């Protein structure tokens, strides 16, 4: 596979130290819980955009955006406010806009007629259930078998916020592409090789957009600083993901979220080359380079020889905010040129076209794809 030439620009977002230049209303926070219905989702979108434009805005999004990353918190608060019936309606409207990928399976495979499907899979919350301990997010053996079967028919990549080695340690399938650290560390499938030279080549990394010599020592240092400063906050967990660092607050008492946010922001002030984004109950520190899961998807398609091609149908399945970059990349390809599937039980602002509720449905979708492929091959040979 040829290594495509990819120019990596600096992210346009403000560094952690600058003041907020995003479209948020400064310290006038959106009400919490967020307004319901379409306007609520829209407000959440602005908030997310603001957050992704970095943490610059002082108290801007801090704790509130941390709450918004927890559907359970938002739902509990909405239930207290008596929003039950509204919620049903909202869910029905959302499902109409993002129908189940299982329900629309025939439509999805029909769109792949004459094209090569390339499969992109997020890990946490997509292949494995979300659990309190990030080190215990194991995928089931049946899920592993489903992914293995899919990869026999279609080029398949795992695109994760985790460090590449760690996500490989969970998935354990050498035949896949792996894009770790939110796509900043990409490696192709291991090839069987005999000589030492060949073995070294087979281990070769495809692409690392963030200069390793610059960012790896910086990430090491910031990881240490974050471990130190969050030590006094019970339940906080800092995870080194090689080109980025995750600060988990799933097990931190909500009363301490403000303190955690301030600690992280305080550390980041010393690192203008790093920025902060957010996932599911996790703050993510990463280089300011303009690279994300969407760019990783584009890079992998190009690497597979599909640059500018319409004879390919990328399918991306993910559950988190960081997967939205990939869904947007699919949308940019044009109508019908990609399939984005969000894994979520709750209505969420998303650029995905379809939805699945949980990893069990992801597995069902993968197995149906395999079966469809098997049957279509069979019918061609008859
Ligand atoms: O891109 P992904 O593969 O989805 O990785 C995103 C983050 O996933 C992990 O955290 C999430 O899953 C944990 C285990 O279920 C959960 O405890 C945590 O609250 C979630 O945010 C991973 O630990 C992070 O490093 C990844 O960035």
Task: Give yes or no: residues 235 and 123 share one domain.
Answer: no
Per-residue pLDDT at 13: 33
* Minimal-distance CA residue to ligand 1 atom 13: 134
Same domain, 187 and 221: no
Burial (CB < 10 A; 0-12, 13-18, 19+), residue 72, is exposed
Among residues 114, 144, 113, the alpha carbon closest in space to that of 127 is found at: 144
ipTM of the complex: 0.99
Does the residue 24 lie in any domain?
Answer: no
Q: What is the dihedral of CA 259, 262, 266, 269, to 10 degrees?
A: 160
Residues 362 and 280 in one domain: no
- Report which protein residue has its CA nearest ligand 1's atom 15: 130
The angle, 0 to 180 degrees and rounded to 10, between the axes of the packed helices 324-332 and 293-303 is 50
Preceding amide of 6 cis, omega within 30: no
Count: domains in the chain: 2
Q: Is the CB of 130 under 6 A from ligand 1?
A: yes
The percentage of the chain sitting over the pLDDT mark of 70, rounded to a whole number, equals 76
Co-location of 356 and 250 in the same domain: no
Active-site residue among 86, 122, 132, 319? Answer: 122
Measure the CA–CA gap between 111 and 339, rounded to whole angstroms: 9
Domain, as residue range, for 274: 37-94+211-287
pTM of the model: 0.85
In a domain, 135, yes or no: yes
Q: Which of 66, 68, 125, 260 to mutate to test the pocket of ligand 1 (most atoms within 8 A of CB)?
A: 125
- Domain-located, residue 225: yes
Q: How many CB atoms lie within 10 A of CB 271?
A: 19
* Ligand 1: residue whose CA is nearest its atom 10: 134
Residues 40, 44: Cα–Cα separation, whole Å:
6
Looking at the structure, tell me whether residues 43 and 76 fall in a common domain. Answer: yes
3-state DSSP assignment of residue 231: coil
Q: Are residues 170 and 300 in the same domain?
A: yes
> Is 181 near ligand 1, meaning CB less than 6 Å away?
no
Output the CA–CA distances (angstroms, integers) from residue 50 to 22, 62, 65, 159, in the order listed.
5, 11, 10, 24
Judge whether 12 lies within some domain: no
| Residues 152-211: tens digit of each pLDDT | 999 999 999 999 999 999 999 999 999 999 999 999 997 655 555 455 445 556 898 999
**What is the number of the ligand 1 atom nearest to the C-alpha of 131?**
15
Whether 124 is catalytic:
no
Residue 259: CATH number of its domain = 3.30.70.1020
In a domain, 25, yes or no: no
Residue 8, domain member (yes or no): no
User: Is 9 contained in some domain?
Assistant: no
The list of the chain residues with pLDDT below 50 reads: 1-7, 10-40, 42-60, 197, 200-201
Q: 190: domain CATH number? A: 3.40.50.1000
| 186 & 301 share domain | yes
Parallel/antiparallel/unpaired status of strands 237-240 and 185-187: unpaired
In a domain, 166, yes or no: yes
- The domain boundary residue, chosen from 267, 287, 307: 287
Mutate-to-test residue for ligand 1 from 121, 134, 167, highest number of ligand atoms within 8 A of CB: 134
Strands 354-356 and 339-343: parallel
């Amino acid at each position: 596979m040829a290594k495509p030439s990819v120019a990596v620009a600096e992210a346009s977002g403000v560094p952690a130290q600058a003041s907020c230049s995003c479209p948020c209303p400064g310290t006038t926070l959106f009400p919490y819980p967020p307004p319901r219905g379409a306007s609520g989702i829209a407000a959440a979108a602005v908030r997310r955009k603001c957050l992704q434009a970095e943490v610059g805005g002082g108290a801007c999004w801090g704790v509130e955006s941390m709450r918004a990353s927890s559907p359970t918190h938002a739902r509990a608060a909405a239930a207290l406010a008596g929003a039950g019936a509204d919620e049903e309606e909202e869910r029905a409207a959302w499902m109409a806009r993002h129908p189940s990928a299982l329900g629309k399976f025939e439509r999805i495979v029909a769109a792949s007629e004459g094209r090569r499907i390339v499969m992109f899979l997020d890990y946490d919350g997509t292949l494995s259930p979300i659990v309190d301990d990030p080190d215990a997010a194991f995928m089931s053996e049946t899920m592993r078998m489903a992914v293995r079967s899919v990869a026999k028919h279609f080029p398949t990549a795992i695109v994760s916020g985790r460090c590449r080695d760690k996500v490989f340690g969970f998935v354990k399938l050498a035949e896949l592409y792996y894009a770790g650290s939110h796509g900043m560390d990409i490696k192709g499938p291991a090839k069987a090789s005999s000589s030492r030279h060949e073995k070294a080549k087979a281990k070769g990394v495809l692409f690392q957009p963030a200069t390793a010599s610059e960012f790896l020592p910086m990430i090491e240092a910031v990881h240490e600083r974050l471990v130190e400063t969050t030590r006094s906050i019970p339940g906080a967990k800092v995870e080194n993901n090689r080109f980025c660092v995750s600060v988990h607050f799933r097990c931190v008492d909500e009363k301490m979220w403000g303190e955690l946010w301030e600690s992280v922001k305080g550390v980041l002030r010393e690192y203008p080359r790093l920025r902060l984004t957010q996932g599911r109950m996790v703050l993510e520190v990463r280089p300011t380079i303009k690279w994300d899961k969407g760019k990783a998807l584009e890079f992998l398609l190009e690497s597979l020889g599909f640059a500018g091609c319409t004879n390919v149908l990328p399918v991306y399945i993910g559950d988190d905010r960081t997967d939205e970059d990939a869904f947007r990349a699919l949308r940019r390809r044009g109508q019908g040129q990609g399939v984005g599937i969000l894994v979520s039980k709750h209505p969420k602002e998303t650029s995905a076209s379809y939805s699945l509720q949980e990893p069990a449905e992801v597995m069902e979708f993968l197995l149906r794809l395999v079966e469809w492929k098997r049957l279509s091959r069979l019918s061609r040979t008859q």
